[in-house]
Structure 1
């Protein structure tokens, strides 16, 4: 195992190490050539698993990309603190993974020219050239692209329903919010599991207004994605939109009718999924690819479970009103190149070539599934079956979050639910509602946005739970505006005008 992996493992276990002491930091040298002719690359990266991978897959990646890669892994739980420390102490690497683009230190560093602007170079490399203009724009800061964007699924959410329960209560797959409400009511009142007890409900939700049911449902009611901007450049937050109030009313009616788990406001995601898998509810709103995990969790508990995924629900029944919110406009962060490490254009282009190579199908396969015959088998249709889940989790899974691109490849999971989820998620992209403020700068939002949002989140829950009325909710919005919201809006409007000329 390489020296830096051992140190990274210590990081992952919570040891108090300075970033500058990790292999791959500024002290370990800049990009150049190693003794075997490979390009030496240090990479300050985020670790989303309990421990770093072994060298098994890494060796293959290095062979294909002709690179000698040294990782410095930062545990995801401490990424904000450690990235801030790294920026402040200038202990960076040739490549730095930046996933918290709304962090004020990160945005200030990007705007201050700490990292190379890469926009002018993308078209020199075939895989980088294929990055769409919408993606480039969304990943830019004040109109400039300071790294290669992590290309994620643009809109992955939808509704997962117990198809076997639908058949039991005699209802079709819902296409409108009213029909979905009737399904929730039937799942609560008509004993869909046939055990003679009134122990089921419609929705199984969790304490998350974004990745739980609320934001997806709000898409169906026409709510914008975080912010809206009109032709004159006027910016409005989503919670001042009529669709937001309609969504609160909808969830309030679900709650009052008992058609959603009554503790949804304090339920964790793991409990939500376990409860659904145990047959306590029949509707799950979230990432469509969660369906595979839900069915796996149900094995031995709800063996008769059959799931159907729905991505075309509207509140009006009109196809023209179809919409789904986008998480981060399909941007998962940036692979950025600090000027302190990457001294000239020639070094930058070597690193851009490396990232270009990471986007190939061959390397994507390694970072997603591992090595054929060792970690997986594949059929003639390029459908993959993992051979040993434990081995895959140890040697392959830690690389997954480091893939610069996650979609558009032929090789795919063999699981039928995953195949269907991927198809629906790809279809979602045509109806995705993007956040128009995603790439723009509001200093007040960067410094106070999260704290201010708590006012709206609390008021939203209180409204749904029947503790306050509409006037009190509007008073909370007024409080948000007075405490800094008006300043955020003014800053976004100025930033939008600067970039768009409006």
Structure 2
């Protein structure tokens, strides 16, 4: 504590005591009570927010200190709660390591952050929220639908987190429409047409730099699975029930999966897929090169990044979603099922009720309080609208460290007119929840018990590693497709029979 501040506090307390001693009531019960109450100061509870929601993407290093203090004072004045922001180090691994240190330390404070609650609840790191929601979270409860809340509950009905989302479409294929026009190509509607566009982008120099360096498609492992697999397998990137034995099986065993792998391997060898897709690369820097024809990565790799760099690209540069495209087995995309990603409250929290009150405030008067938490005073409604919003300045001073209400319940309630934000907002409000354009996973409504999966499938980690690593090997040519049957044998030797048995048991137990 600052010594000057401490000294001033002591002086105030001593002055109050002297005044009480000189008063006419000194020594009486009434005088003693008045003196005691006068000497008390109302404590303002502090809550510690680890800001790992992704909100800081606009300014990873955090706010200008003066602006952060201004926001903190606003919450102290309005709620009688002092939020304290913890800005994670940049990089997913570093952020996770920092969070683990905070959770494991006996001294450091951390009260709320984003996590998959079912990873933490069995470890005793977080607390159930039912009572807190009933007492202090009425606006939160109203904001989310029953479907979203189902993913927050364990088998006993305990609620462990505040939802972040619900089933949605996250991996569309975006295409440079200015390149289509330049090469006199139409928007592809079949896999064959898509391949023809990839070939043209690769060979016909649509970026006009005179070099054979065009990247037809920027992708990653999740992107090629969720954006493309549905065109080859009946259920897309999903577990499925084998009609032959009524058992739950992974997509690797589905008819058509080998064809899917063969097509990707062919595209990779022809240079249609970015060569570094399955290692670490910076999508922003890649987009800046003006060489990327398509993207099948997480939607925000285009909606957030492209508008930021568009001023440095040709004036007609534009990405649009390929809609309605079909493969031999129908829709290419697979929707992302609901999940356990949520805002949680730690067992370490000294004031869990204050944490819940703070979060609940952001769900009051949606989207106003949510937007203020995200952008401070640097935003406003357009005209009389309560939906269209704009940023007042492009200079970000407050980065959103106190934002704890991210998700479809809040982010679909407004749209930015700002050209840098509009593309992202339009996707969220018009595209994300339209799951009819994609295949829904067979077990989308099943919340598997991760603890039981680990207990009953001792080699689960090995199986998951094989499923990701070997797929990459097949696609990149590091392993020949003639080894595919050997790969399936590897999965069984790694314990796939136990995987099938446990997933089938839980599916049958939990399906409604």
Instruction: Place the TM-score, normalised by the shorter chain, in its bin.
Output: 0.7 to 0.9
Distance 2:129 2:246 in 1: 27
Name the structure 2 match of 1:159: 173
**2:412 pairs with 1:408:** yes
Distance 1:419 1:462 in 2: 36
Distance 2:332 2:476 in 1: 28
* Alpha-carbon distance, 1:368 to partner: 2.5
**2:389 pairs with 1:384:** yes
* Alpha-carbon distance, 1:188 to partner: 1.6
Name the structure 1 match of 2:426: 420
Question: Cα 1:400–1:247, aligned 2, differ >3 Å: closer, same or farther?
Answer: farther
What is the aligned counterpart of 1:99 among 115, 131, 147? 115
What is the aligned counterpart of 2:342 among 329, 333, 346? 333
Is the CA contact (8 Å cut-off) linking 1:52 and 1:398 kept in structure 2?
yes
Distance 2:472 2:293 in 1: 22
Question: Cα 1:230–1:387, aligned 2, differ >3 Å: closer, same or farther?
Answer: farther
* Alpha-carbon distance, 1:364 to partner: 0.8
Distance 2:476 2:156 in 1: 42
- Relative to structure 2, which stretch is displaced further, 57-66 or 303-312? 57-66
Distance 1:489 1:468 in 2: 25
**2:494 pairs with 1:483:** yes
* Alpha-carbon distance, 1:285 to partner: 1.4
1:60-114 per-position Cα deviation (integer Å, ceiling 9, x unaligned): 34444453334555545445445555555676868432514464xx24235xx96
Question: Cα 1:378–1:402, aligned 2, differ >3 Å: closer, same or farther?
Answer: closer
What is the aligned counterpart of 1:363 among 339, 355, 369? 369
Name the structure 2 match of 1:462: 473
1:160-189 per-position Cα deviation (integer Å, ceiling 9, x unaligned): 111111111222222332222121112122
Within-5 A mapping of 1:29-40? 35=41, 40=45
Q: Secondary structure at the match of 1:264?
A: coil
Name the structure 2 match of 1:258: 271
Question: Cα 1:236–1:216, aligned 2, differ >3 Å: closer, same or farther?
Answer: same
* Alpha-carbon distance, 1:333 to partner: 2.6
* Alpha-carbon distance, 1:365 to partner: 0.5
Is the CA contact (8 Å cut-off) linking 2:374 and 2:400 kept in structure 1?
yes
Q: Secondary structure at the match of 1:398?
A: coil
Distance 2:240 2:177 in 1: 36
Name the structure 1 match of 2:182: 168
Is the CA contact (8 Å cut-off) linking 1:118 and 1:148 kept in structure 2?
no
Distance 1:73 1:445 in 2: 38
Distance 2:176 2:159 in 1: 44
Name the structure 2 match of 1:191: 205
1:298-326 per-position Cα deviation (integer Å, ceiling 9, x unaligned): 433433312222354331496xx474331
Q: Secondary structure at the match of 1:99?
A: strand
- Relative to structure 2, which stretch is displaced further, 172-181 or 242-251? 242-251
Question: Cα 1:234–1:138, aligned 2, differ >3 Å: closer, same or farther?
Answer: farther
Within-5 A mapping of 1:172-183? 172-183=186-197
Name the structure 1 match of 2:17: none
Question: Cα 1:412–1:279, aligned 2, differ >3 Å: closer, same or farther?
Answer: closer
- Relative to structure 2, which stretch is displaced further, 422-431 or 127-136? 422-431
Name the structure 1 match of 2:20: none
**2:440 pairs with 1:433:** yes
Residue-pair matches, total: 447
Name the structure 2 match of 1:314: 326
Name the structure 2 match of 1:12: none
Distance 2:62 2:210 in 1: 49
Distance 2:79 2:482 in 1: 60
**Structure 1: gaps spanning 5 or more residues:** 3-33
What is the aligned counterpart of 1:303 among 293, 299, 315? 315
RMSD: 3.9
Within-5 A mapping of 1:19-418? 35=41, 40-47=45-52, 49=56, 50-53=60-63, 54-71=68-85, 75=89, 77-81=93-97, 83-84=99-100, 95-101=111-117, 103=119, 106-109=120-123, 115-118=127-130, 121=133, 125-142=138-155, 144-152=157-165, 154-205=168-219, 208-210=220-222, 212-222=223-233, 223-228=235-240, 234-266=247-279, 268-270=280-282, 272-292=283-303, 293-316=305-328, 321=331, 323-326=333-336, 329=338, 331-336=340-345, 338=347, 341=350, 348=353, 351-360=355-364, 361-371=367-377, 375-380=378-383, 381=385, 382-392=387-397, 395-400=398-403, 403=406, 405-415=409-419, 416-418=422-424
Question: Cα 1:498–1:119, aligned 2, differ >3 Å: closer, same or farther?
Answer: farther
**Structure 2: gaps spanning 5 or more residues:** 3-39
**2:451 pairs with 1:472:** no
Distance 1:390 1:36 in 2: 37
* Alpha-carbon distance, 1:197 to partner: 4.5
Question: Cα 1:351–1:87, aligned 2, differ >3 Å: closer, same or farther?
Answer: closer
**Which structure would you say has the larger Rg?**
2
Within-5 A mapping of 1:443-462? 443-444=454-455, 449-462=460-473
